[in-house]
Chain A
Amino acid sequence: MISETGNGLSHFEMELQLKAQELVSVLNEGKLPDAMEIIRELHEFRHQTFFSEVGHLTRGLHEAIKSFSSELGRSLNIDGTPQAETDAAERLNYVIEVTEKNAHETMDRVDKALVLVDKLDKQSERFKDLLLLVGQLEKEHDSLKGVYDRTCAVKEESEQTISTLREELTDIVVSQSYQDITGQLIRRVINLVTNVEDHLVALMGMAAQVERISGVDMSIESDDKQTNNKNPIQAEGPQIRKEHADVVSDQDEVDDLLSSLGF
């Protein structure tokens, strides 16, 4: 009899050679029914090997997807029901939100600064009236000689500074466009992650079918190992779900927690 499904194609080749020799020898002896039996066995063996190989391939795929989905931050759902976006996509969306908020805060401050610059401009106008007065007084009092020209020079310098300041502030506003540029790129990555995930879910479904047909047992042992092995204090970067019970939402909560521990 042919042995149980082998591990790999080398085993298949070996069995094939043995059976071929056996076939030749029974044919030489003229035992036709025996020869037919060997051919039947070969057929069956080929099927078994094929299923076994597909089964192993599927198991490999299964494991790869499991570890990938764990990287994404949550497990994929194999039944295909629609669900919220992955942690990965959620984190990326959060980046867009944070940068948008900060860009606006920066621009709020620039707007306030620009109001001050306008104020300086108006003061400069009022200064002009004062200068005219100085000009008149200079003619009447020798001791004021040269004051008008010197004051004019200061006024011009100050106006130049105001104009440069205005340009700098405008450049700060324009440079906030990084938020749009990075946001567009991040959105593309979010789409990519979501697409890859959809395809993986489909593959998982196919793999489950093959597993059933090929009879390869997908023990859930590896799943348990994965969840149990997750280190609870592994660095995760900024938390985006601050309302979560296991996450602190501000410094006060940190201090409370520490003081409750006796710090």
Chain B
Amino acid sequence: MNKDMKILVVDDFSTMRRIIKNLLRDLGMTNVLEADDGQTALPILKQGGIDFLVTDWNMPGMTGIDLLKEVRSDPNLAAMPVLMVTAEAKKEQIIAAAQAGVNGYVVKPFTAAVLKAKIDKIFERLS
């Protein structure tokens, strides 16, 4: 896993963005950008340079699932690894996210160990 990779964390709650940022820092990844919903995240992604997307689902403006679909439908972004970190816990939702092409799905509230394990797994599979 490349520690210098650029990560975009998307969540409408600043508390959660900070928690995820802290955990990424523990993993040695400090190159982190933030956005508070899909609408603000998408232009940042389209600008290029982001290597990994961590997104919430339930957000005003554009939801995480719609953001994921946008990413997968954009040829420049389609291959980007996406981890969903969300309180949405219905099986149907998890299946929908998987079908939309999510690389990992973490249900809130989570532990540091779980988040780290999911991130490791995503990059293990990709390499």
Contacts and interface: CB of A to CB of B under 8 A. Distances in A.
Interface stretch (B8-16, B38-46, B74-82, B91-99): B8-16
Interface in A35-82: none
Nearest to B56: A180
Interface string B82-123: 000001000000000000000000001111100000000000
Contacts, number: 57
Given A103-B15, A176-B19, A180-B13, A171 B108 contact: no
Contacts of B15: 100, 103-104, 107, 176-177, 179-180, 183
B111 to A, nearest CB: 6
A184 interface: yes
Range, interface on chain A: 10 to 19
B58 interface: yes
Given A173-B19, A174-B19, A176-B19, A183 B13 contact: yes
B22 A170 contact: yes
A235 interface: no
A168 to B, nearest CB: 11
A171 B116 CA distance: 13
Given A100-B15, A104-B14, A107-B18, A174 B23 contact: yes
Nearest 4 pairs of A and B residues by beta carbon: A180-B13, A180-B16, A179-B15, A103-B15
